[in-house]
């Protein structure tokens, strides 16, 4: 299954299949920002010094590109303490 098989239900003009298939798994989107990647000393850090670790699906936000009530920017989701 691809995302186009399942969603969107509207706006499929010119896509195949022309209607979303039923009985297919949903392809959820999760966003991860690796906050350790930019660190100059990444290769010498120990596991306990990493910020981005022990990630489970239950701690991720499904479809972060869809803003919830009160949210005005996607950046608030990924960088909540920066004021971006």
pLDDT tens, N- to C-terminus, the chain (84 residues): 455 555 556 666 776 766 666 776 667 788 788 888 889 999 999 989 998 888 888 888 888 778 888 888 877 777 777 655
Q: What pTM was computed for the model?
A: 0.46
Spell out the domain ranges in the chain: 1-30, 34-84
HEC per residue, the chain:
CCHHHHCCCCCCCCCCCCCCCCCCCCCCCECCCCCCCCCCCHHHCCHHHCCCCCCCHHHCCECCCCCCCCCCCCHHHHCCCCCC
Q: What is the pLDDT of residue 1?
A: 44
């Amino acid at each position: 299954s691809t995302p186009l098989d399942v969603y969107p239900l509207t706006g499929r003009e010119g896509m195949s299949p022309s209607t979303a298939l039923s009985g297919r798994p949903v392809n959820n989107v999760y966003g991860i920002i690796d906050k350790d990647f930019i660190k100059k000393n990444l290769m010498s850090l120990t596991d306990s010094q990493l910020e981005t670790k022990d990630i489970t699906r239950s701690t991720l936000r499904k479809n972060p590109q869809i803003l919830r009530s009160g949210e005005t920017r996607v950046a608030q989701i990924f960088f909540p303490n920066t004021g971006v």
